[in-house]
Amino acid sequence: MTARRHAVIPAAALLIAGLLAAGLLLPSGDDGPTGQPVTAPPPAMSATAPAEVRIPALGARSTLIPLGLNPDGTAEVPPLDQPLQAGWYKHGPAPGDTGPAVLLGHVDGHGRPGIFHDLAKLKSGDRVEVARYDNSTATFTISRVDRVPKDRFPTGSVYGETTTPQLRLITCGGVFDPATGDYRDNVIAYADLV
């Protein structure tokens, strides 16, 4: 061996020892610093429009229509004369894509319960399934359900960027105000892709 090769081997050994000491080279089976298994969030699915939403805990099922924005900048909702129709906010992520996909539906309409009538009854861990036009299904679990006054709608929490695929289900709730013909609150269910 030449002197140069003799110098390279100890230098490489020192480099590897330093990386191990710094924790930068860990065996592939390492469970992480706390001894807990390291779990990554599920990867985002391909961009495909949603076709149907199913909420087994509520016995709710609806096709999804694309929704945009009203002239005042608020999100469109499905037609009030079709209270069992849900819709997808088409200017945001599709369910299964990275970010918060938003589905909207009525609590009631024309004296009948709407598709999201019992949304406030969802519990953490309940499942929401979204069938997509590519024949795949994005399955989410509820993490929380909030009721908020409409004048304090949490736009950032609902529409803000996320690093994982998430879902928001939105309907009206609280007290009905006959003067405005609308409910005073929104019920928002937050869910994560599983």
User: How do residues 45-78 score in pLDDT, each as one tens digit?
Assistant: 767 999 999 999 999 999 999 999 999 999 999 9
Provide the residue type at 189 as one letter.
A
User: What is the per-residue pLDDT across 168-183, written as a single tens digit (0 to 9) for each?
Assistant: 999 999 999 999 999 9
Residues 69 and 30 placed together within one structural domain of the fold: no
Residues 150 and 174 placed together within one structural domain of the fold: yes
* 44 in a structural domain: no
Residues 55 and 33 placed together within one structural domain of the fold: no
Output the domain CATH number for residue 185. Answer: 2.40.260.10
pLDDT surpasses 70 at 24? no
* 43 in a structural domain: no
* 42 in a structural domain: no
Residues 122 and 171 placed together within one structural domain of the fold: yes
* 167 in a structural domain: yes
pTM beyond cutoff 0.75: yes
Please, which residues bridge with residue 193 across strands?
Answer: 140
Q: Rg of the chain's alpha carbons, rounded to an integer?
A: 24
* 144 in a structural domain: yes
E strand segments, 42-107 = 50-55, 60-67, 86-89, 99-105
Q: Tokens 């299964």 appear where? A: 96
CB 132 within 8 A of CB 182: no
- The token pair at 112 is 């009948």
pLDDT surpasses 80 at 29? no
- The token pair at 23 is 């924790």
**Total structural domains within the chain:** 2
Provide the residue type at 51 as one letter.
A
Which of 4-13, 78-87, 129-138 shows the lowest mean pLDDT across its residues? Answer: 4-13
Please, which residues bridge with residue 169 across strands?
Answer: 103, 189
Instruction: Determine the pLDDT at residue 11.
Output: 40
* 87 in a structural domain: yes
Residues 33 and 55 placed together within one structural domain of the fold: no
Which residues form the domain of 169?
50-193
Instruction: Determine the pLDDT at residue 47.
Output: 74
Please, which residues bridge with residue 89 across strands?
Answer: 67
* 45 in a structural domain: no
Residues 23 and 108 placed together within one structural domain of the fold: no
Could you give the percent of the chain with pLDDT greater than 70?
A: 78
* 88 in a structural domain: yes
